[in-house]
Amino acid sequence: MRQKWIAIFCSIAITLCCIFLPAGDPIYAQTDQKEMTENESGTGTEPEEGIKVEPETEEVPEAASETEPEEVTETEPETEPEEVTEAEPETEPEEVTETETERETEVEPETEAEEEIETEPETEPETDAEEETLSEAETETEKATEAETEPETEAEEKIEADPEEVTQVEPKTEPETEVREEAEPKPEEMTQPEPEKKTGGAAEETIPADEEADTSSGTWDSSWYLSQDFRFTQIDEMDKKYALVEGGESIMVYEEPNTDAKRIGEIPYFGLVYVLDEKDDWAYIESGEIRGFVKKEYLSDSSYAKEMADLIGEDTLPCGKRLCEKADNAAFTYKHTTVYSVLAKKRYAITIYASPIYEYQNLASRAIGETKSGTLVYILETSDGWAYVESGDVRGFMPATSLIGGIAAKGIVDEVGEDELPLAKMRVAPEENRSCYYTLTSIKTASEHRGEEIAQYAQSFVGKLSYVWGGTSLQLGADCSGFVQGVYAAFGISIPRLAQEQGTSGQAIDSLSEAKPGDVVYYGSGPHVGIYIGNGKVVQCAGNSSNTASNPGAGPTISSVDYMPITSIRRYAITLSDSGSGENSRKDPTVYTQDQMELIWAIVAQEDNGSYEGALAVISSAMNRTESAKWGYCGSNALEQLTAPGQYCYSNDDYWRPRLGGNVPEYVKQAVYDCLEKGIRNHHYTSFRSQKGMITGPNAVQIGGNWFFDT
């Protein structure tokens, strides 16, 4: 009994002390002295029985005058200073220890105004379900007390006490910001808006090393490396296919080859259209600003339309009228070819100050790009105080007042250098930019852009690939010509294997001043080859004949293009179309049965020498023969050519028979599909041999192990 009265007396004394002590002095009432000591140190374990008494404020006297000391409920946390004896454990609230409350208060806002508003939502998710809800007055006082301690020490205690709690708090702040910061540059990385910035040294990686294609063992997918290029390719004058609208009435243009599809335009009677592609009973046409599908039955014969166009004048004949914005017409980019001029004359402009590039001629419209002071842009069109500009792959509108143009801009470009001036930073990718096709013109052609991508891809191997004499792998090691061949193969372009052959094939470029990124530079004194990347630089795989897999050489490095005497510069035709789809040749219109398709696969697989490029080369030769004056007699489709007497392996041996029934590698099926269905070919030759000899001639090209040539 005496002990009980002593305990009650002590409890009252402690309460009175709390009333008169300065606010913020923590006092802990515990039934066990050992537990109190551990909690005060902040390093002990959580006690089995005990309650933390919150630091008192001016509001505490009201709380202290309430119920009996023994009664402690969740709705009356002010009575926590009262003693809770072992005889009455049922009246204790759920445990709130110093360690737990520390974790709780460390994540609270720093200012008192924020604390008053956000106490409840921040406390509930950041503490265990069994912890009490503190009153606003006690929470403010406790946080004021905690703020006086050293943040670093508290953070360390928090991590040691419960690292799981830390992970619950952190994602609410930094990770969300990091995601937003990483999300914006993605379109820029995908579209590579600043290919001109190549000034030597290790280039910034554009393709992860572990994603580099091994073109000798599988299908190459252009989407691995190529961004969607918004630029269009102009059709040669001799390749234009004219048509006039017949029937006495105007016709509708559809978004898809289907009369139930969206109507995107209308062409009047006797209106002029240009046929860009044909699909069954439909024609994909271009007429003025309209691009879409019309029924072929409403179009005149091409020769008659051409005669009328020459007689009346192409510009005099009526053309179509748009019924929707270009950005709302999915058929607009079905083909990236056009009969209209696409190369714009360069009109330089320099930004006066940092300014967005807008999607529309409106300051309230979306910013699709950013510029800083001194950014180079090219003016494509002007209207009502606005300039439609292009800078890298960013295209949109800028107020004319934010630009310096004319002679002043040209002078800055001449003094600093066009390739040294910064370009705009992309915020919205071209395919998402509704003003991207405001005009089809650009200051560079699609092929130039593709050459820049080749040069950029080649630079991505700097410091990541070893020189191995005789090597051809972009993963395991390559020599100089193997490296160049591998880079081109990644873009579907087949070039000879040896440096001497690479330096004498392809299109000759007369001088270094005419060279463009992607061209092959040949040094006869080596012999040695590299890939021109612009700005007087070349990327070349450096090493010598002593370098093996166990003793590799330096590998791809960037050097001045004239570090050795240049023998020749060569440009190789890019077989993929400018849209990246590869639809650059006639497709095979024949509908084959499954058995016929399996026979084609078997013949191609027997001839292909084990690679996608080899398989594509074989089926390409068959399709080339269907268009050849010499070999056309063998058949009008691929199967007829492959089974013609005395030609491919079909009539010469039976090794292809075990390959029937689809028993071929997947890359063979892919190569056949790409050639017959998509029109992709990787050479223009009609014949091939397994070895180069007198019959193949000096200009034969090796693709996938075979030598292809014309006879």
- Phi first, then psi, for residue 517 (nearest 5°) are -50, 135
Task: Write down the pLDDT at residue 274.
Answer: 96
What average pLDDT score do residues 8-13 get?
A: 61
* Burial tier of 510 (Cβ tally within 10 Å: 0-12, 13-18, 19+): exposed
| pLDDT at 163 > cutoff 80 | no
Rg (CA), the chain: 38
Please report the DSSP string for 244-267 in residue order.
EB-SSS-EEEESSSSTTSPEEEEE
Q: What is the amino acid identity at position 477? A: G
Task: Write down the pLDDT at residue 447.
Answer: 66
| pLDDT at 400 > cutoff 90 | yes
- Chain centre distance of CA 5: 77
| pLDDT at 29 > cutoff 60 | no
| pLDDT at 370 > cutoff 90 | yes
Q: Which of 502, 500, 495 is nearest to 617 (CA)?
A: 495
- Give the span between the Cα atoms of 139 and 55, in whole angstroms: 9
Tell me how crowded residue 311 is: count the other CB atoms within 10 A of its CB: 8
| % of the chain residues with pLDDT over 90 | 42
Task: Write down the pLDDT at residue 162.
Answer: 40
Q: Are the C-beta atoms of 358 and 438 separated by less than 8 Å?
A: no
Name the least confident of 381-385, 507-511, 516-520. Answer: 507-511
Sheet arrangement for strand 348-351: 403-405, 348-351, 376-383, 386-391, 394-399, 355-358, 367-371, 425-426
If one compares 478 and 187, the residue with the highest pLDDT of the two is 478
Q: Are the C-beta atoms of 641 and 622 separated by less than 8 Å?
A: yes
- Burial pattern 445-458, b for ≥16 Cβ within 10 A else e, equals bbbbbbbbbbbbbb
Polymer length of the chain: 711
- Give the span between the Cα atoms of 458 and 601, in whole angstroms: 33
| pLDDT at 582 > cutoff 70 | no
Q: Are the C-beta atoms of 474 and 605 separated by less than 8 Å?
A: no
Mean pLDDT of the chain: 74
Task: Write down the pLDDT at residue 501.
Answer: 87
Where does the pLDDT of residue 17 fall: very low under 50, low under 70, confident under 90, or very high at 90 and above?
A: low
268 prior amide bond cis, ω within 30: no
| pLDDT at 123 > cutoff 90 | no
Task: Write down the pLDDT at residue 9.
Answer: 59
Q: Which of 51-55, 229-233, 292-296, 542-546 has the highest mean pLDDT?
A: 292-296
Name the least confident of 19-33, 239-253, 348-362, 499-513. Answer: 19-33
DSSP tag of 89: G
Q: What is the pLDDT of residues 560-571, one digit of tens each?
A: 999 999 999 998
| pLDDT at 410 > cutoff 50 | yes
**Contacting residues for 172 by C-beta, under 8 A, at least 6 apart:** none
Q: Hunting for tokens 């490296």 — which residue is that?
A: 483
Q: What is the pLDDT of residues 587-644, one digit of tens each?
A: 888 889 999 999 999 999 999 877 888 899 999 999 989 888 788 889 889 999 999 9
- Give the span between the Cα atoms of 350 and 398, in whole angstroms: 11
| pLDDT at 581 > cutoff 70 | no
Task: Write down the pLDDT at residue 622.
Answer: 94
Where does the pLDDT of residue 326 fall: very low under 50, low under 70, confident under 90, or very high at 90 and above?
A: very high
| Tokens standing for residue 279 | 């699909």
Q: At what angle are helices 98-106 and 33-41 packed, to 10 degrees?
A: 20
- Chain centre distance of CA 352: 30
Q: Is the pTM of this model over 0.85?
A: no
Partners of 267 in the beta sheet? 251
Q: Hunting for tokens 């998710």 — which residue is that?
A: 125
SS3 content of the chain, % helix, strand, coil (to 5): 35, 20, 45
Task: Write down the pLDDT at residue 30.
Answer: 39
- Burial pattern 677-689, b for ≥16 Cβ within 10 A else e, equals eebbbbbbbbbbe
**Contacting residues for 65 by C-beta, under 8 A, at least 6 apart:** none
Task: Write down the pLDDT at residue 583.
Answer: 41
Q: Which of 62-71, 203-212, 413-422 has the highest mean pLDDT?
A: 413-422
Task: Write down the pLDDT at residue 6.
Answer: 56
Calculate the alpha carbon distances from 187 to 81, 182, 183, 397, 578 in Å. Answer: 60, 10, 8, 19, 19
Calculate the alpha carbon distances from 657 to 39, 191, 279, 534, 604 in Å. Answer: 84, 46, 35, 50, 12
Name the least confident of 9-23, 517-531, 629-643. Answer: 9-23
What average pLDDT score do residues 305-328 get?
A: 93
If one compares 220 and 327, the residue with the highest pLDDT of the two is 327
If one compares 600 and 174, the residue with the highest pLDDT of the two is 600
Q: At what angle are helices 112-126 and 136-147 packed, to 10 degrees?
A: 100
DSSP tag of 632: G
Task: Write down the pLDDT at residue 199.
Answer: 31
**Contacting residues for 209 by C-beta, under 8 A, at least 6 apart:** 460, 464
Q: Which of 225, 230, 231 is nearest to 189 (CA)?
A: 225
Segments of 178-245 assigned E as strands: 233-234, 242-244
Tell me how crowded residue 664 is: count the other CB atoms within 10 A of its CB: 22
What average pLDDT score do residues 636-665 get?
A: 92
Q: Hunting for tokens 């600093």 — which residue is that?
A: 416
